[in-house]
Chains A and B, each alone.
Chain A
Amino acid sequence: MGGLTLFDAAVAPSDGALSVWQVTQRARQLVEAGFPRVWVRGEVTGFKAYRSGHWYFTLRDRRAQVRCVMWRSDNERVAGPLDEGLEVFAEAQPTVWEERGEFRLTVRQVIPTSVGGAWQLRLEQAKAALARDGLLDPARKRPLPRFPQRIALVTSFDGAALRDIVAVARRRWPAVELVVVPTRVQGETAEAELCVALGVVNRLDVDLVIVGRGGGSREDLWAFNSERVARAVAAVRAPTISAVGHETDVALTDLVADVRAPTPSAAAETAIPDREALAALVHGLARRLAAGLTGRVELGAQRLDRTGDRLSAVLGARVERARARVDAAEAALQALSPLRVLARGYAVARDPEGRVLRRVAQFLPDRPFRLTVADGDVPARVEDRT
């Protein structure tokens, strides 16, 4: 609190007395500097919502009470006015209201203790701890791989999550490999098992991780709100999708993972590309590939055409079917019919090294070359250049 004392001589007026406002102002500074934001448990009494939208009430327990204010910007997130006698956890900044010289709490959020409030309190505290360590920073979010080959699933063997994800994978893109790292997802051991499983994931060669489970009660899903599990998710090297089947609540792992999915099926839909869309993409590229070559070959064919007379002797030579350099691609070639130009009767001549022969001078007597025609290659040889 260095140097900040109530009776600092420097601020005392000439008559040696402080003004009232000076005292309350200093008191506020002292309280705020020395008393960080806290969670307070107490009962609401004397609640009043002002026309300004701000809320004023008192929190009390059996031994004490304290005045509270909750600004409109904060209370807008609360479902409704606080009932008399409601027990709440309040996240609050202790302060002094200078004008009244009154100690009070500036309340930022309230959680009723009755409806799982204790859990929510722990959740809020864990969230704050994760935020302090930068684990909730949006800049941490990594993009998912376009085409994951191996996906690790951190979930239970017997849950619906696993079956759902496998079903989606089989429908969308069966080439993907799924690696299940089993763990209990509810019960006392779930937290520890999830942490171990997430550690195992880092020893696997996978390019995506889905951690999650199917829907359940708030209690069932609790392991996914554990700070330890959230930190284990944050430590996974591969991009992560958190998929905890719950329609309303967001789990802690959802906040830490790179992507949040509402259900395991949705996670799989997000992660695994759709085969039909990919097939269309590949088909489009195949057409462009064929068109690209056809265009280029046509150019070459025009040149060959100009020397066609001289080549006729060559073309008349012994023709023999042979494996072509492009044989490996034959099936695809037929599917694409890319050499339509050749089908019209043109041929491409290449030397044994595969270089295209484009000038008469390149056809040397007795030197073998290959002619690529519509349905394959033929070995050829110049016998007579006259």
Chain B
Amino acid sequence: MSEPSFQEALERLEAIVRELERTDVDLDRALALFEDGVRQLQVARGLLAKGDAQVKKVLQQADGTLATDDLDV
């Protein structure tokens, strides 16, 4: 679960927009914010556009360990 989550992207984006909407923000900072914002947008849009929901099953093995496998539903 190391890839950025939708929640992280959205929260970062919200923070960026809030800062960018302040008039006193420096131009360098504004450009950097914008670029970061675009990256967050791409993450968010990528997750929104993702295909079919993955369905997996988890089974406990005889030795107590868990095995995960794809499941067709």
Contact = CB atoms under 8 A, between A and B. Distances in A.
A282 B39 contact: no
Interface in A147-182: 147, 149-150, 152, 157, 162-163, 166, 169-170, 173-182
Contacts of B55: 166, 177-178, 180
A178 B53 contact: yes
A354 B57 CA distance: 48
Interface in B1-40: 1, 5-7, 10, 13-14, 16-17, 20-21, 23, 25, 27-28, 30-35, 37-39
Contact of A356 (B28, B42, B54): B28
Q: Identify which of A286, A292, A331, A355 gathers the most chain B CB atoms within 10 Å of its CB.
A: A292
Given A289-B17, A289-B20, A297-B30, A174 B58 contact: no
Q: How large is the interface on B (under 10, 10 to 19, 20 to 34, 35 or more residues)?
A: 35 or more
B33 to A, nearest CB: 8
A205 B66 CA distance: 12
A329 B38 contact: yes
A200 B58 contact: yes
A275 B49 CA distance: 9
A76 B23 CA distance: 63
Contacts of A286: 41
Contacts of A149: 1, 5-6
A292 B27 contact: no
A203 B7 contact: no
B71 interface: yes
Interface string A48-81: 0000000000000000000000000000000000
B62 interface: no
Contacts of B30: 292-293, 296-297
Contact of A354 (B28, B45, B50, B54): B28
A282 B45 contact: yes
B58 A333 contact: no
Given A289-B38, A326-B38, A147 B31 contact: no
Q: Identify which of B10, B44, B50, B55 gathers the most chain A CB atoms within 10 Å of its CB.
A: B55
Contacts, number: 143
Interface in A296-350: 296-297, 299-300, 325-326, 328-329, 331-333, 336, 338, 348, 350
B40 to A, nearest CB: 9
B35 A326 contact: yes
B9 to A, nearest CB: 9
Nearest to A278: B48
B64 to A, nearest CB: 10
Interface of B: 1, 5-7, 10, 13-14, 16-17, 20-21, 23, 25, 27-28, 30-35, 37-39, 41-42, 44-45, 47-48, 50-60, 66, 68, 71, 73
26 contacts: A147-B6, A149-B1, A150-B1, A157-B57, A166-B55, A173-B48, A174-B50, A175-B53, A176-B53, A177-B56, A179-B68, A180-B57, A180-B71, A182-B59, A200-B60, A203-B66, A205-B1, A278-B6, A286-B41, A288-B20, A289-B17, A293-B31, A296-B20, A326-B38, A329-B35, A331-B42
